[in-house]
Structure 1
Amino acid sequence: MGKIVDIKFTLKRYNFYKPFHIVGSISSEATNIEVEVTLDSGAKGYGEASPSFRVNGERVEALLQFENFVKETITGIDVKNYRKIFDITDKMLATPSVKAAVQYAVLDAFSEEIGIPVYQILGGAKDKIETDKTVGIDSFKNRVEEAKSIYNEGFRVIKIKVGENLAEDIEVMESIFEVTKGAKYIVDANMGYTHKQAVEFIKKVYNMGIDVSVFEQPVLANDIDGLKFVRFNSPFPVAADESARTKYDVLRLIKEEAVDYINIKLMKSGISDALAIVEMAKAANLQLMIGCMSESSVGINQSVHFALGTGAFNFHDLDSHLMMKEEIFRGKFEQKISEIIPKE
């Protein structure tokens, strides 16, 4: 019992409550792929791929074509030997979001088979986590109002998107600070600044008396020298996101001493690389946060259980499902404002 007998890919579309704007991208919907793994016992596991052309070079139409390939390569394998499946799917270098979805669906099926939640299979290090909520790029007034609304909801970690207008970003930070005293801030430029602009932004914010917990991806993904420059000229910790897709990227960042934080996203790395990055970061004394692309509750569930299981993260940016219109919430977790706990 426990052998894979079927794998199914299903295209899913989700509308956002309002357009989500970051540097160079405005989205009003997410087009994802749900992966269903069925075992000979009848147990089923679910994962989700949320592809990003901007980050991974993926297109959803191409990813759907991998359904038969995945079926041919892992059908018949027992899910209790999930590391064998990880080794096979690790070769899917060009399709990391599908790799993540398949790997998690296998763990989810194994979880159903043995009656133990995925987070406990992965170690059970935590029994709750706290997520932030994100302020996208918008008009000055709307950004400040949204931050205030998020704070009033009860979130105490606020992620703020910047990178398209340096002068306005600095003013926005000051105004947000005034209406959200006591919050922690993750500031994400999504590659929007040059290294000099990034240092100007962070030093002016620092001089206002604003504490930034993480300054994320200030420069282009391949500008490792620029990232390092910002790190050594910033009073706040600097994180890599787009620069840290795989464990090989992270190894380079460690060698270059380019960052203080790594933002792990399962959609960039899959479960297997993410596990490796956790151990690499520990060995290098780097801090970790976990983020998301545009996952629904099915996809966010993957990162929730990974974070609970490993207990590796200082910050959790797992809020994309809160931006979507979903008919049914399908995550195996419970959420009260910012606090997330697993369903037993």
Structure 2
Amino acid sequence: MSMSKIVDVKFTLRRHEYEKPFHITGSISSESRNVEVEITLESGIRGYGEASPSFRVNGERVEALLAVENVVKDMITGFDVRNYAKIFEITDKLFAFPSLKAAVQFAVLDALAQELDVQVCHLLGGAKSRIETDKTVGIDSIEKRVEEARKIFEEGFRVIKIKVGENLKEDIEAMMEIAKVTKGAKYIVDANMGYSPKEAVEFVKKIYQAGIDISVYEQPVRREDIDGLKFVRFHSPFPVAADESARTKFDVMRLVKEEAVDYVNIKLMKSGISDALAIVKIAEASGLKLMIGCMGESSLGINQSVHFALGTGAFEYHDLDSHLMLKEEKFRGKFIQEGPEMRVREE
């Protein structure tokens, strides 16, 4: 008799306030409302995952996620977590709830890992023992952005993510000033779909002329505008990444075929574990580079991406800092973080 069958699934709403409002193109957040997923096995082992739904990216509402608790319970109860590919196949049908798909799929792996007395990153390949995350500068006045970047640099972060996309002139100026106070840092610049293709090219040309290097230029144009992405890619001195344009493995296949980007930002909240694994394989086969990002996850949700990144070893850049911006009563990740470094907790 297998003790690794799922006997219960439970959803819990968790609210986390941001330390300060987080401003990106077209959105300001003061709190993150996430759904914690708990899966119980016959053995009594409990696996945990977290969904951080995004209306802006996925069209998800937290109320809708909570409403399908019984549906998900019916879908996967009775399945053995050792056959997780079967559970992934069923949960792949949750395409209207990608963040929930991620949480359920991770909770299954978390339960299985405990059953086998390993960590999830080992189930996924154990390719790396440590990764380094960036930290993000939100949109603000130029002075405040520069101050924030300086602070992040002083905390020891050597990759800084800078949000742009609402005001081209200010963005260029902010970027120039940030570069002065953070010499030696690498920059990921994310416009969150805020620019037209021409503005996007003007931004990078000005930055390039100023002698500043950008490691990744993320989602400069609207998600549907694949031609625009390609235009920016072929006119940019820096590598261009898709985030909002790359949700599923099918999106990524199209971006590869159209030669539209150099990088894809995998977020488990957009793809679930199953599509994220497929995107890693597509990238390996096509020479596409990868970064991994997050939405508004707490340490419990960031844990999922840390283990995915450590397990697959697939990423050049890691943008896993949302838990550092949230007020949390208790750190719940099964990883150790020291400054930008994240590593596995050796049990």
Q: TM-score range by the shorter chain?
A: over 0.9
Alignment-derived partner of residue 270 in structure 1 = 272
Q: Distance in 1 between matches of 2:344 and 2:36?
A: 21
Alignment-derived partner of residue 324 in structure 1 = 326
Cα deviation, residue 66, structure 1: 1.1
For the residue of structure 2 that corresponds to 1:277, the secondary structure is helix
Q: Distance in 2 between matches of 1:168 and 1:93?
A: 38
Q: Which amino acid aligns with 1:82?
A: Y
Q: Which amino acid aligns with 1:148?
A: R
Q: Distance in 2 between matches of 1:91 and 1:323?
A: 32
Q: Distance in 1 between matches of 2:84 and 2:182?
A: 45
Instruction: Count how many residue pairs are aligned between Structure 1 and Structure 2.
Output: 344
Cα deviation, residue 123, structure 1: 0.1
Q: Distance in 1 between matches of 2:311 and 2:344?
A: 10
Alignment-derived partner of residue 280 in structure 1 = 282
Q: Distance in 1 between matches of 2:73 and 2:174?
A: 49
Alignment-derived partner of residue 216 in structure 1 = 218
Q: Distance in 2 between matches of 1:140 and 1:174?
A: 10
Q: 1:190-249 CA deviation, whole Å, 9 max, x = no partner?
A: 000000000000000000110000000000000000000000000000000000000010
Q: Distance in 1 between matches of 2:172 and 2:75?
A: 51
Alignment-derived partner of residue 53 in structure 1 = 55
Q: Which amino acid aligns with 1:110?
A: L
Q: Which amino acid aligns with 2:298?
A: S
For the residue of structure 2 that corresponds to 1:210, the secondary structure is coil
2:159 pairs with one of 146, 157, 170: 157
Alignment-derived partner of residue 305 in structure 2 = 303
Q: Which amino acid aligns with 1:245?
A: R
Alignment-derived partner of residue 128 in structure 1 = 130
1:2 pairs with one of 1, 4, 8: 4
1:1-344, aligned counterparts within 5 Å?
1-344=3-346
Deviates more, 1:61-70 or 1:156-165: 61-70
Q: 1:119-176 CA deviation, whole Å, 9 max, x = no partner?
A: 0000000000000000000111000000000000000000000000000100101000
For the residue of structure 2 that corresponds to 1:30, the secondary structure is strand
Structure 1 unaligned blocks of 5 or more: none
Q: Distance in 2 between matches of 1:235 and 1:192?
A: 19
For the residue of structure 2 that corresponds to 1:129, the secondary structure is strand
Q: Distance in 2 between matches of 1:62 and 1:104?
A: 20
Cα deviation, residue 185, structure 1: 0.1
For the residue of structure 1 that corresponds to 2:211, the secondary structure is coil
RMSD: 0.4
Cα deviation, residue 114, structure 1: 1.1
For the residue of structure 1 that corresponds to 2:93, the secondary structure is coil
Q: Distance in 1 between matches of 2:318 and 2:182?
A: 19
Q: Distance in 1 between matches of 2:75 and 2:145?
A: 47
Q: Distance in 2 between matches of 1:93 and 1:177?
A: 40
Q: Give the TM-score normalised by structure 1.
A: 1.00
Q: Which amino acid aligns with 1:91?
A: K
Q: Which amino acid aligns with 2:164?
A: V
Q: Give the TM-score normalised by structure 2.
A: 0.99
Cα deviation, residue 112, structure 1: 1.1
Q: Distance in 2 between matches of 1:177 and 1:51?
A: 33
